[in-house]
Amino acid sequence: MAEATTFKNETQILEPFRGIKKVTIEEYFTSGHRTCQGCESALVMKLMVKASGPRTIVLGSTGCMYVANTTYYTTPWVVPWMHTQLGSSGSAALGTAAGLKALMRKGKMKSEPINVIAFCGDGGGADMGLNGISATLTHKDYNCLILLYDNESYANTDIQLSGMTPYGANTTFSPPGKVIRNVHKRWKKNMAGMMAAGHPECRYVATVCASYAVEMMNKVRRALTIGGPTFIHSLDPCPKGWDYDPMLSHELGELAIETGIFPLYEMEDGELRYYGKTKAIVDGRARKPVREYLLKQGRFAHFTEEDLAYFQAKVDEMWDKWEVPAVVPFKRVDASKAALNVK
């Protein structure tokens, strides 16, 4: 078949929402899901497709946002949605974007910009599917967004620890005991920083939190309009896995930012912009103590003062010693020593 002369690899025009009153009223993730009360990941799904609008295809890897959203014969998705295997969000995004492009180029479907979003959990994305996401972010000719919703555990299968579970957290794989209090002793992966630093063809990487809904939707809009593959990391409080009253979800999201544990930033064409309360911290506002965030969650109920001090010291190090505060983890060294290569 002859190639369509009208085909252009365009993205949609999605202007940022200028305030909450300007947000569109239509919903594309509605009732019909069975996530827990207070589930922030469900809110992320709702805001994500609200931002992208009706001409969107969503792909989702196995996890809470698959299982709880597609219970037998019911679904909250109004846009086309497809499940993909646990470690496959990257390849699903790339394959769908490539498929659409080929069909449009060959004139087999109408040439129009369609948003492709693949979401993954922290287990599916930051652990099992890291390779696929990384590969996708190198293919600059395909327009797609990978959104990692990070509830800091393999939640759907009953809260096993992932590479994104915070230090010391109580999970079904790391229950605190009398002999070993903190079974989980690894520090969480720096997923957005890793994606931003390691993928020169990826034009946009951002971190978001649904406690700041309009900002979050605007980052999704930017990611979908800039062109090429993009990546967003969302931190999602999870009442079941983090063990807290569901009414605290929003507050915990805010505290994650205000304590400096989860910095909000976007990296566009290699330029870094902190935003929201993270920018205020960069500009001099004091960070709240991490204990205000940690002690509201049952998964840290076993923490002693020593554990809290260790956690605080690690967060302080991220802000005070990293090459780019809270983003790039290389330590700053004295320039004269670095030139001589001495320690």
Ligand X SMILES: Cc1ncc(C[n+]2csc(CCOP(=O)(O)OP(=O)(O)O)c2C)c(N)n1
DSSP 146-213: EEEEE-SSBTTTT-B--TTSPTT---TTS---SS-S----PPPP-HHHHHHHH-TT--EEEEE-TTSH
- 219's CB contacts (< 8 A; 6+ apart) are 206, 208, 232, 266
β-strand partners of 84 = 61
**Residues at the site binding ligand SF4, with contacts judged by CB under 6 A:** 35-36, 39, 41, 64, 68, 151, 155, 238-241
**Residues at the site binding ligand X, with contacts judged by CB under 6 A:** 62-65, 86, 121-124, 151, 153-157, 162
Residue 168 binds which of Mg ion, ligand X, ligand SF4, none (CB < 5-8 A, kind-dependent): none
Residue 124 binds which of ligand X, ligand SF4, Mg ion, none (CB < 5-8 A, kind-dependent): ligand X
Smallest distance, ligand SF4 to C-beta of residue 249, A: 8
Write the interaction track for Mg ion spanning residues 87-126; mark x where CB under 5 A is met and - where it is not: ----------------------------------xxx---
Looking at beta carbons, which pairs linking 304-312 to residues 24 or more positions away fall under 8 Å?
A: 304/181, 307/168, 307/181, 307/182, 310/167, 311/166, 311/167, 311/168
Nearer to ligand X, 63 or 76 (CB): 63
Residue 62 binds which of ligand SF4, Mg ion, ligand X, none (CB < 5-8 A, kind-dependent): ligand X
Nearer to ligand X, 91 or 312 (CB): 91
Residue 157 binds which of ligand X, Mg ion, ligand SF4, none (CB < 5-8 A, kind-dependent): ligand X
Placement of tokens 């209090």 in the chain: 181
Nearer to ligand X, 122 or 254 (CB): 122
Residue 89, Cβ neighbours under 10 Å: how many? 31
Under the criterion CB under 5 A, does residue 42 sit at the interface with Mg ion? Answer: no
